[in-house]
Amino acid sequence: MQLTLGATTRPWGNWSFAEACSAIAAAGYSDVAIYGHKGTIPVSAESTPDDIAAVRSAVQGAGLVASMVITRTLLDVPLEMAVADYRKAIDAAAAAGITWVMNGGCEQPELYDAFQKLMRECAPYAAVKGLRLLMKPHGGIGLTGQMMRRVVEAVDHPNFSICYDPGNIIYYTKGEHRPETDVHAIKEHVSVCIIKDCVVNNGVPDVHLLPGEGLVDFRRVLGALVDAGFRGPLYVECVGGTQWDDINDRARRTHAFVSDLLARL
């Protein structure tokens, strides 16, 4: 099965965005999801036209497609301020040619309602711009598939869906929940999937490892998604390693691992 297979820039976060793009392309990926680099996300509500031009230049120079970006949300401010800020992030993503605008939900229970209102207000705006909004499980409001389902139902807009991260289901529940069963609660609302594994040693979770070497059964997770109609894209987020050459080798090995897995579905 042919599904778009991209990589986030997270493994190369200590290098420049342009260097990350070159490494991602060399490892065989077609798409890039933009994460932080040395504490700064290259496409954000604060991006200038020059920032966007630099991103487009780096992406095009590497022969990639910039199709997703991770974003922040402001929730402890009045709704109109939060909406204005997130619309700026959407505008920046649109200018960069991005399709998927993703965030990590909300970890503070007292702000759950504010988050849902923000997504409800911004989903139609993103649709007009030709972009789609995503929430990724990151603890809190998105701790499990069932909780994410409640968020999707509360936002109640076709332009808001889930970026499923099986490694985070294990990480934030410390192994209490497993994605192989958890995914069934949310599978029909998943538009994007993250490739990230996780282990739990003495109660301490760790996602910095090669996919396929941890607790996630990717065949079962992806199989459930595909059976529910999922057609990608997928993005590799973590591969382990800290040195340039090692990270690049791990990225290539992960590309081969996922490609083989998809071919068997």
Separation CA 198–CA 209 (nearest Å): 7
Torsion of the alpha carbons at 36, 38, 44 and 45, rounded to the nearest 10 = 140
This prediction has a pTM of 0.96
Domain interval for residue 166: 5-264
Q: What is the pLDDT of residues 130-141, one digit of tens each?
A: 999 999 999 999
pLDDT of residue 26: 98
Q: Of 161, 173, 174, 166, which Cα lies nearest the Cα of 219?
A: 166
Residues composing the chain = 265
| Nearest CA among 119, 134, 113, 63 for reference residue 87 | 119
Parallel/antiparallel/unpaired status of strands 132-135 and 100-103: parallel
Percent of the chain with pLDDT over 90: 97
* Confidence class for position 2, pLDDT limits 50, 70, 90: low
Separation of first and last alpha carbons in the chain: 6
Each residue of 74-129: pLDDT tens digit?
999 999 999 999 999 999 999 999 999 999 999 999 999 999 999 999 999 999 99
Q: Please determine, for residue 1, whether its predicted confidence score (pLDDT) is greater than 60.
A: no
Domain count, the chain: 1
* CA pair distance 236, 258, nearest whole angstrom: 9
Q: What is the CATH number of the domain that holds 167?
A: 3.20.20.150
C-alpha span between 30 and 8 (Å, rounded): 11
Per-residue model confidence as pLDDT tens digits over 182-236: 999 999 999 999 999 999 999 999 999 999 999 999 999 999 999 999 998 999 9
